[in-house]
């Protein structure tokens, strides 16, 4: 089951080079996944009525190039595997002619929102989708290794604007928080490992380390990493 939507890169989604920003890229992917769930009859409202919600475990994104302001693009997504507790989903951005600009692998967990723990994926959710063959790309593990040497950056307060419907920091907002820490140079891709929920009022302290062509940022609360982000340059 493949879901696609035709989009145009908006000025508000671009950086100073008029390229799509990394947070906006993830917003496109998240929106596509959410729209597909709604189309399949298992959207946010249905899951919430059952006390459930999808929570992201990780992103692994490969970038060919970032689309530019006013460029027409196709954003797509599909699940390629389910097991008892996790769902694996590919997302992509391509040109109308079919050139892939970015590909992503993502892992999602089904959470009991009241108990705050991972639970088995209900049959009514799994049966709502059909799986497709995974995209050809490098499938890295979800764990991101931390560099040996890391420096502490300026603390980042978690504000109301960072919080989503589930009451914690939305996955793309972490990328927006570290926008100024994204390394210079053309991005080949990035990975994100979500290790714990962060809520309004928390203070995230970034720890930053660089090894060769990768920069790793661990966003920590009381020295505990909540989210780890890895950027790789070409």
- pLDDT for the residue numbered 116: 86
In the structure, what pLDDT confidence band is assigned to residue 217 with cuts at 50, 70 and 90?
very high
Cβ atoms < 10 Å from Cβ of 140: 14
Query: Mean per-residue pLDDT for 75-103?
Result: 96
Contacts of residue 136, defined as CB under 8 A and 6 or more positions apart, other chains included, come to: none
C-alpha to C-alpha distance for 99 and 29, rounded to whole angstroms: 17
* pTM, entire model: 0.95
User: So what's the pLDDT on residue 223?
Assistant: 86
In a domain, 139, yes or no: no
Residues 120 and 158 in one domain: no
User: How far from the centroid of its chain's Cα atoms is residue 190's Cα?
Assistant: 10
Model pLDDT for residues 8-30, shown as the tens digit of each residue? 999 999 999 999 999 999 999 99
- The token duo for 197 is 């929920």
Q: What is the pLDDT of residue 92?
A: 98
Mean pLDDT for 89-114 is 96
The predicted pLDDT at position 163 comes to 92
Same domain, 165 and 117: no
| Domain-located, residue 138 | no
In a domain, 136, yes or no: no
Residue 142 belongs to some domain of the structure: no
Of 206, 203, 208, the closest CA to residue 151 belongs to 208
Same structural domain, 95 and 176: no
- 169 and 102 both lie in a single domain: no
**Whether 224 and 169 share a structural domain:** yes
Instruction: For residue 37, report the phi and psi dihedrals to the nearest 5 degrees.
Output: -60, -45
Identify whether residues 164 and 81 lie together within a single domain. Answer: no
Determine the average pLDDT of the residues in 205-231: 95
Tokens of 23: 């947070």
User: Alpha-carbon distance 49 to 211, whole Å?
Assistant: 45
Question: Cα angle vertex 28, ends 27, 31, to 5°?
Answer: 80
> Tokens representing 105?
């692998």
Give Cβ neighbours of residue 194 (< 8 Å, ≥ 6 apart). Answer: 55, 56, 57, 58, 171, 226, 227
How many percent of the chain have pLDDT more than 70?
100
The per-residue pLDDT for 63 is 98
Q: Using one digit for the tens of pLDDT, what is the confidence trace for 155-207? A: 999 999 999 988 889 999 999 999 999 988 899 999 999 998 899 999 999 99
Q: Are 38 and 44 in contact (CB under 8 A)?
A: yes
In a domain, 64, yes or no: yes
> Do residues 137 and 91 make contact, with C-beta atoms less than 8 angstroms apart?
no
The CA distance from 93 to 160, in Å, is: 29
pLDDT-derived band of residue 154, with 50, 70 and 90 as boundaries? very high
For the domain that residue 206 is a member of, what is the CATH number?
Answer: 3.10.129.10
**pLDDT grade, residue 225 (50/70/90)?**
very high
Which residues constitute the domain of residue 38? Answer: 3-126
Q: What is the pLDDT of residue 184?
A: 83
Please report, in angstroms and rounded to a whole number, the separation of the first and last CA atoms in the chain: 33
Give the C-alpha separation, 47 to 9, whole Å.
Answer: 30
Tell me the pLDDT band of 141, cut-offs 50, 70 and 90.
confident
**Same domain flag for 115 and 174:** no
Q: What is the pLDDT of residue 157?
A: 96
Distance CA 105, CA 197 (A): 21
115 and 9, same structural domain?
yes
Q: Are residues 98 and 59 in the same domain?
A: yes
């Amino acid at each position: 089951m493949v879901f696609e939507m035709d989009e145009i890169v908006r000025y508000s989604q671009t950086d100073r080079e008029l390229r799509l920003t990394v947070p906006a890229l993830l917003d496109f992917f998240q929106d596509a996944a959410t729209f597909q769930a709604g189309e399949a009859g298992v959207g946010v409202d249905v899951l919430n009525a059952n006390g459930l919600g999808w929570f992201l475990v990780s992103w692994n994104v490969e970038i060919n190039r970032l689309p530019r302001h006013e460029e027409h693009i196709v954003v797509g997504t599909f699940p390629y595997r389910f097991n008892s507790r996790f769902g694996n989903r590919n997302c992509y951005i391509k040109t109308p002619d079919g050139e892939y600009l970015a590909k992503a692998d993502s892992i999602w967990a089904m959470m009991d929102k009241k108990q705050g723990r991972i639970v088995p994926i209900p049959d009514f959710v799994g049966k709502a989708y059909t799986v497709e063959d995974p995209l050809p790309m490098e499938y890295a593990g979800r764990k991101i290794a931390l560099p040996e040497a890391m420096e502490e950056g300026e603390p980042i307060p978690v504000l109301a604007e960072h919080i989503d419907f589930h009451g914690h920091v939305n996955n793309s907002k972490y990328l927006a928080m570290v926008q100024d820490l994204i390394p210079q140079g053309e991005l080949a891709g990035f990975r994100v490992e979500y290790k714990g929920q962060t809520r309004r009022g928390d203070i995230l302290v970034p720890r930053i380390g660089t090894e060769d062509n990768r920069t790793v940022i661990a966003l920590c609360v009381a020295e505990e990493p909540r989210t780890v982000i890895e950027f790789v340059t070409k």
